[in-house]
Structure 1
Amino acid sequence: MKKCIPRTSDRIITVLAAVVCAVAAFFACRELLCGGQPPTVFFAMTLLFGGVAIHTIWRMIYMGNWGFFYDDEKIIFALSRKDYRDFRWDELQNAKTNIFYPSSPAAWYFYFQDEKKTKKIAVTPRLAGYNEFVDMLRKKGFPAQSPGTLNFDKNTAKDIFHEVFGEDFGKGSKNGSK
């Protein structure tokens, strides 16, 4: 099976951010208990950084190896460590209007309705295996586009610049030279 999952570097950065928040919470708590400073700020910092660290670590453990696992016959949406949905490609074509929503040319979401809430999983260019996944989606008839296919209209940018600044591109500067 091929996979489209978060990059290892993104996972490492997330772990480092959780560690930095935990260390900041530790020092704020230490200053709160042992320091002679006003306790309100350090109490708030302890709660803030401790909460961020605990939430990040919990989400990493709960989510596990989320992503997309696929081959020519089926696709598996791993929403978390315990929750995954598998579809045959032809079943997914029939359910396309219910779970597939393109949000931009380079990123889109798959939505899954449960009894209590809607769960979603995002496809973005930052995922490892993104290009192969996009190729497979195109092969199976989904409207997947590569990043960078956004059309940038230079005339629209000039109109916006003129409307905001009241002048054209390259017609002088702030120091008065024209």
Structure 2
Amino acid sequence: MSDGYVPRVNVISRLGAGVIGGVLGGVVLAAVLYFLDEIQAYGRLVGQESTQNDIVVALFVCGFAGAVFGIFVGRFVTGQLIPAAGVGLVFGTVWYLVLQLIVLQIRGGSLLDMGKNGLIVLGAYVIFGAATAIMYSEFGPRRQYRRYRRRSGDYELEYVPRFRRSGSRSSSRRRRRRRDDDD
């Protein structure tokens, strides 16, 4: 039997969930940037300016952004949508400042130039951040919530599933076992 310690969520699962959330959010971002004709900056980043390359590079960069989100911010995101969306809004804004205003402008633009559609592009990045965080919180790694119960002076960890069905067989067995332990 183990010591009762189970890590909350490991880095690899947060990274994978972040990449998936980033790519799904990147689809939204790439679509908005494509319709605004602002996606060419991604093609300039690798020196290939065609629509297909722009979209592929944008999705790759969004997947990288999702990985960064999963590794550094993912442990703070719980399974609740509203706090996750708030974290995503901040993440999207920071990603806009770093990527759109600095990194993408290095290859053929002027630094800190918002351009003609600057606020709409900022909104697209904010939506990207929110979509990444919501996808991460919904489909990402689940934390195991535990409660402590006292048994003869020791504290014992007990696994409590996140979504427990009231009529499932495991919960009735658990109740039956507790009644037997009390006797």
TM-score (norm 2): 0.26
Give the structure with the higher percent strand: 1
Larger radius of gyration: 1
TM-score (norm 1): 0.27
Give the structure with the higher percent helix: 2
